[in-house]
Amino acid sequence: MNLSVQEKDPANLFDTPLLHQSFFWSQVKQNQGYETKAFDIKVRQADVQRGATSSFLLDDMLVQLIPINREHTIGYVPYGPLLHPDQQNMGPFLEELSLHVQKRLPSHCILLRYDLPWETVWDDDELSVELQNIRLNWGTQSRSLSRSVSNQLPSDTMFIDLSGSEEDILANMHHKTRYNINLALRKGVEVRQVGHDQLDVFYALYEETCERNHIQLHDRSFFEALFGPEDEHAGVTLLMAYFENRPLSSMFLSRSSQRATYLYGASSSALRNTMSTYALQWKAIQLAKQWGCREYDLFGVSPSLHKNHPMQGLYTFKKGFGGDLLHRMGCWDFTFHAQEARQLFAYEMVGDGYHLR
């Protein structure tokens, strides 16, 4: 495969709709204490896409180095790379890319973990992990790719098309969602853009949300890192919904290129009949259109409307806004050091202590 990799400053990452592959996200991770690296990728188009010409494709990739113990790290690629090979070329492309990047990573990096943004090519319910591993390794030399124990970023999401008018977007929503938006506005729910000085208010709502839904809690510093980075193409805004000046729900809305993303959210258990979360999402959609975004990523749902799935309620809520479901391929590991990687996988299978952030 005719592929080359060149390291570069993360400040020179391309403009991308993938927030987690942006210079902004590199700065967020550095503010949280992680080292990041960026790489240019050049590959002959005919090597990754069937029937293509002899021209070359260019992409780049952000890698976050995450310590897993005192001696070893992994390289984590959040929603990358964007460059999407044909199905039969996925494994060879990731293998070749990994081997090139390995030369530019510390020797103590035991694997590369790709959180692939590519739409899945199989039904996880019908194809076992073992068969998925065989499929993705087809055509590779080392057979070093394996499905990760779990995904880190949401692999299932919904996208709302923002190309139409606000009236068009509302018309595509479920009638109950439109009703709840209007109900919230009639009740007097007000959504405001707020600053860093309201982070404590957000975090209090976030703690309440995590306790209510039995979700692992991020430290306050995790959200603190979202403020401050400068990037002309990407950033975040904190929105808060109030009823009679009482904060009831809040969210971080991000933008990157022509995509807006519902990044993190929180809400109070009180006064839920005000439907503040509906007003909050509607304000986010309106703001995304003002920014010139073409799509809104609702960032995380269950893979289907299954009544027994723990995220079924979130699916129903987000589906009401009229989005289209996308199933991504999720996390895949390319192993450099097999023994250390097996120890990590065993720990991930049984422990709650290791979580990528």
Phi, psi of 229 (to 5 degrees): -55, 140
Mean pLDDT is lowest, of 137-146, 190-199, 305-314, 345-354, for: 305-314
What is the pTM for the complete model shown? 0.92
Over the Cα atoms of the chain, what is R_g? 21
* Domain ranges for the chain: 3-154+328-350, 163-293
The dotted CATH code for 3-154+328-350 is 3.40.630.30
pLDDT in tens, 124-134: 566 888 999 99
- For the cut 60, the answer to whether the pLDDT of residue 241 exceeds it is yes
How many CB atoms are closer than 10 A to CB 52? 13
What is the model's pLDDT at position 42?
A: 97
Task: Grade residue 354 by pLDDT with cuts at 50, 70 and 90.
Answer: very low
- For the cut 60, the answer to whether the pLDDT of residue 307 exceeds it is no
- For the cut 80, the answer to whether the pLDDT of residue 114 exceeds it is yes
Tell me whether domains 3-154+328-350 and 163-293 share a fold.
yes
For the chain, what is the HEC assignment?
CCEEEEEECHHHCCCCCCHHHCHHHHHHHHHCCCEEEEEEEEEEHHHHCCCCCCCEEEEEEEEEEEECCCCCEEEEECCCCCCCCCHHHHHHHHHHHHHHHHCCCCCCEEEEEEEEEEECCCCCCCCCHHHHHHHHCCCCCCCCEEECCCCCCCCEEEEEECCCCHHHHHHCCCHHHHHHHHHHHHHCCEEEEECHHHHHHHHHHHHHHHHHHCCCCCCHHHHHCCCCCCCCCEEEEEEEEEECCEEEEEEEEEEECCEEEEEEEEECCCCHHHCHHHHHHHHHHHHHHHCCCCEEECCCCCCCCCCCCCCHHHHHHHHCCCCEEEEEEEEEEEECCHHHHHHHHHHHHHCCCCCCC
What is the model's pLDDT at position 125?
A: 60
Mean pLDDT is lowest, of 209-218, 219-228, 292-301, for: 209-218
Contact 135, 146 (CB under 8 A): no
Mean pLDDT is lowest, of 119-128, 195-204, 258-267, 291-300, for: 119-128
Contact 58, 46 (CB under 8 A): no
The more confident residue out of 216 and 188 is: 188
Q: What percent of the chain is modeled with pLDDT above 70?
A: 94
- For the cut 70, the answer to whether the pLDDT of residue 309 exceeds it is no
| CATH class of the structural domain 163-293 | alpha beta
Contact 181, 317 (CB under 8 A): no
Task: Provide mean pLDDT across the span 254-269.
Answer: 95
Give the mean pLDDT of the chain. Answer: 92
What's the rounded Cα separation, in Å, for the pair 143 and 134? 8
Contact 23, 13 (CB under 8 A): yes
What is the model's pLDDT at position 353?
A: 42
Q: What percent of the chain is modeled with pLDDT above 90?
A: 84
User: Cβ neighbours of residue 323 under 8 Å, at least 6 residues apart?
Assistant: 158, 159, 160, 296, 298
- For the cut 80, the answer to whether the pLDDT of residue 189 exceeds it is yes
pLDDT in tens, 268-296: 999 999 999 999 999 999 999 999 999 99
pLDDT in tens, 6-55: 999 999 999 999 999 999 999 999 999 999 999 999 999 999 988 777 79
What is the model's pLDDT at position 196?
A: 95
Task: Provide mean pLDDT across the span 112-117.
Answer: 97
Among residues 287, 298, 293, 295, which one has the least CA distance to residue 263?
A: 298
What is the model's pLDDT at position 302?
A: 67
